[in-house]
């Protein structure tokens, strides 16, 4: 099975710059003027241009907002140097929502991209998640 990741954004060029600069992804195909495929990770990320204030789902009153929002799903990006990755993300408009924490087998940075989507930076240490499984 294959899966794709789709992220709604209100500024496509800013989103392309963010995901290229912060995560070393590269632009794949442009799908008209409304979507860009970002490659270089384990699955493509599609940046979808959706206006702020547009309907989030058909027939619903909920509207898209690119302020920080909560959703029960988020992306974790595994990095080798969490401090450098967090600094790079912040320099490109991300927010560090809590100081970086060291936990059993990993370090974690809770962040939000410039479009309000939560994501985590994750650096494995020692035995990584295997230390949690013991």
The boundaries of the domain holding residue 82 are 69-134
Count of domains for the chain: 2
Regarding pTM above 0.85, the answer is yes
Percent of the chain whose predicted confidence (pLDDT) is above 70? 99
pLDDT number for residue 57: 82
Q: Is 92 domain-assigned?
A: yes
> Contacts from 74-80 at CB under 8 Å and sequence distance 24+?
74/117, 74/118, 74/119, 74/120, 75/5, 75/117, 75/119, 75/120, 76/119, 76/120, 76/121, 76/122, 77/23, 77/119, 77/120, 77/121, 77/122, 78/122, 78/123, 78/124, 79/121, 79/122, 79/123, 80/123
Residue 25 within any structural domain of the chain:
yes
Q: Identify whether residues 32 and 87 lie together within a single domain.
A: no
Average pLDDT score over residue span 13-24: 97
Assess if residue 64 is contained within a domain. no
Mean pLDDT throughout 73-77?
93
74 plus 124 within the same structural domain: yes
* Distance from C-alpha of 13 to C-alpha of 62, rounded to nearest angstrom: 25
The answer to whether position 129 is within a domain reads yes
Max Cα–Cα distance, the chain, nearest Å: 49
CA dist., res. 17 & res. 108, Å (int): 24
62, part of any domain: no
What mean pLDDT is predicted for residues 1-20? 95
Same domain? For 47 and 77 the reply is no
Higher pLDDT, 81 or 62: 81
Is 61 domain-assigned?
no
Same domain assignment for residues 18 and 47: yes
Element (H, E) at 118: strand 118-124
Mean pLDDT, the chain, rounded, equals 94
Average pLDDT value for residue range 108-119: 97
Are 20 and 81 within one domain?
no
CATH code of the domain in which 31 resides: 3.10.180.10
**88 near 133, Cβ under 8 Å?**
no
118 and 81, same domain (yes or no)? yes
Identify the band that residue 90 occupies on the pLDDT scale cut at 50, 70 and 90.
Answer: very high
Q: Does the pLDDT of residue 63 top 80, yes or no?
A: yes
If pLDDT is split at 50, 70 and 90, which confidence band does 131 have?
Answer: confident
| Residue 62 scores a pLDDT above 90 | no
């Amino acid at each position: 099975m294959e899966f794709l990741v789709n992220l709604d954004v209100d500024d496509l060029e800013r989103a392309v710059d963010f995901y290229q600069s912060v995560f070393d992804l590269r632009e794949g195909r442009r799908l008209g003027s409304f979507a860009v495929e970002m490659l270089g990770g384990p699955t493509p990320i599609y940046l979808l241009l959706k206006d702020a204030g547009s309907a989030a789902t058909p027939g619903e009153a909920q509207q898209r907002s690119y302020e920080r929002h909560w959703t029960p799903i988020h992306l974790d990006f595994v990095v080798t140097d969490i401090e450098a990755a967090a600094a790079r993300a912040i320099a490109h408009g991300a927010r560090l929502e809590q100081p970086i924490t060291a936990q059993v087998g990993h370090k974690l940075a809770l962040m939000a991209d410039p479009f309000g989507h939560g994501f985590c930076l994750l650096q494995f240490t020692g035995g990584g998640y295997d230390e949690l499984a013991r």
